Amino acid sequence: MNKQETLAILQEVQAGTLSPENALLKLRTQPFEDLGYAKPDHHRELRQGIPEVIYGEGKTADQINGITTAMLNKGQRLIMITRLAAETAKSVKVDVPLQYHETARIGIIGEIPKPDGIGKIVIATGGTSDIPVAEEAAVTAEALGNEVVRLYDVGVAGLHRLLSQLDEVMDAQVIISIAGMEGALTSVIGGLTDCPVIGVPTSVGYGASFNGLAALLTMLNSCASGVSVVNIDNGFGAGYLASMINHRRQA
């Protein structure tokens, strides 16, 4: 049950078309459903504004089918499954209509909404190897109702590539900066723009990059103000946070 549905029930009570007792019956539905192997949180959208997202890695196709069926039965209009392997996605498609974004490893059930955020989310990567993480962020942000601009392979090894896209950088409401190796791109972007910058370190790089730890430490130690950092390879977390920022309107 989402906020609009809850508000509609309360408005019916106010108008006298629904008794308080019947309203209570509608609202008292258990906020989660026990499937044994999972407990889908059906009140997540009511509490947080965004429904629960399924983390697909480690789950079988049968488990994902069971969780999505429970969500659909409760009226969830859009379901996102992250870290979904291609082979598992083929099995999930047997029972439910699923759009699979292979590079992002995300499955979507339902229609992606039209953008309704304040502005644009710009996603920049240091290199082409960072694109899978960037696409996870991009598809997440689009599924949550945002306009996304992709600036790929604009790392500091060729800074002119980023500077050639300065108009897009300056026009962003929030920027997601994704880089491996030493992760310097995030500090550079943070020093160019006045909007929030979300750094995503990736596990791309040679031995001393320590599977993304070097980039993580660089971003955490950024001298640019207004930079926040999510975990290594966490494109979903960055896309989710960017969407929250892009939908935050001043009261």
Residues 21 and 41 in one domain: no
Residues 131 and 242 in one domain: yes
Q: Residue 166: which domain range?
A: 120-246
pLDDT in tens, 195-217: 999 999 999 999 999 999 999 99
Residues 195 and 153 in one domain: yes
Strands, DSSP E only, in the chain?
A: 54-55, 79-82, 99-101, 106-109, 120-125, 147-151, 174-179, 197-201, 227-229
If you ran DSSP here, which 8-state letter would residue 64 be given? Answer: H
Residues 167 and 208 in one domain: yes
CATH code for the domain in which residue 207 is found: 3.40.50.1970
Distance in angstroms (rounded) separating the CA atoms of residues 176 and 198: 5
Residues 165 and 63 in one domain: no
Residues 47 and 86 in one domain: yes
Answer yes or no: is 215 within a domain. yes
Answer yes or no: is 17 within a domain. yes
Answer yes or no: is 114 within a domain. no
pLDDT in tens, 139-165: 999 999 999 999 999 999 999 999 999
**Model pTM score:** 0.86
Residues 239 and 170 in one domain: yes
Q: Which of the two residues, 16 and 189, has the higher pLDDT score?
A: 189
User: What is the percentage of the chain residues whose pLDDT exceeds 90?
Assistant: 67
Strands, DSSP E only, in 52-171?
A: 54-55, 79-82, 99-101, 106-109, 120-125, 147-151
Residues 131 and 237 in one domain: yes
* Of the residues 88, 109, 130, the one at which a domain ends: 109
Is residue 229 within 8 A of residue 220, CB to CB? The reply is yes
